[in-house]
Amino acid sequence: MKALRTDKIWAPQPTSWWHEALVELWDHLPGVAVLSLAFTLGTLPAWLTLWWGWVWLCLPLLVLLVAPAWALLLWSEARLCRYEACVPGPWRLWARASGLGAVCAFPLCALLVTLPALSGPEVAGIAWVGLAADIVGVCLAWCLASYGFPLLVLQGWPWRRAVVGAMALASRHVVYTLGLLSLCVGCCVLLLLVSSGLMFFLPGVYGMFSLVVCLRSLEAEMGGGT
């Protein structure tokens, strides 16, 4: 699917996905900043429960609050950039985003169950195997979140189809996936080492990059780009 640009014609066309994402980010920086601020404020209860250590309370909030808010942020950024976005309605968007969020949260639940088994004086070998499996699951959940939520808003797919599509795109376009992973790690490092206040801006940045990556991947699948 091509990105629909009704406000201007690109000349020349951006040569890479990160170039295109940076151009879009710069062209719509005030709007992205406002949307990112609204996302963080709207999902503040989830982050506060995580900050206070109430991890098991944070998980349902991630599914019911953060996931729909993230889908809404991506949809708003897509509209801001004049990309084609498909959202059937607020309730259906919430249901689809929550369904995808529940799939992404499952590996986190498994990891939380495994971690207490590693705190004893003697750790069984099966616990380390479980930890490795949980880490792989968390990585897969990240792939689902990075590609699946853009597919919800760009293609209007149900969450089950978005799960399949996200895994297919993530595995077929490894360069894009590694680029997004590097950006995600960089954002986490900035939050931990520079300032947690960047949480009010970085979600919009990552959302813009994930939208561009998803669009580029879809275009490549359709033979319209690389």
Please, which contacts does 167-176 make with residues 24 or more away whose CB atoms are closer than 8 Å? 167/140, 167/143, 169/214, 169/217, 169/218, 169/221, 170/143, 170/146, 172/217, 172/221, 173/213, 173/216, 173/217, 173/220, 176/17, 176/213, 176/216, 176/217
Question: What pLDDT sits at residue 213?
Answer: 92
Question: What pLDDT sits at residue 148?
Answer: 94
Q: What is the pLDDT of residues 42-65, one digit of tens each?
A: 999 998 998 888 888 889 999 999
> Residue ranges per domain, the chain?
17-221
> For residues 145 and 126, which has the higher predicted lDDT (pLDDT)?
145
Q: What is the pLDDT of residues 61-102, one digit of tens each?
A: 999 999 999 999 999 998 888 777 676 677 788 899 999 999
Count the residues in the chain: 226
Q: How far apart are CA 110 and CA 130, in angstroms?
A: 9
Q: Is the pLDDT of residue 220 over 90?
A: no
Percentage of the residues of the chain whose pLDDT score is greater than 70: 89
| pTM of the model as a whole | 0.86
Paired tokens of 89: 């309605």
DSSP annotation of 152: H
pLDDT band at 2 (very low <50, low <70, confident <90, very high): very low
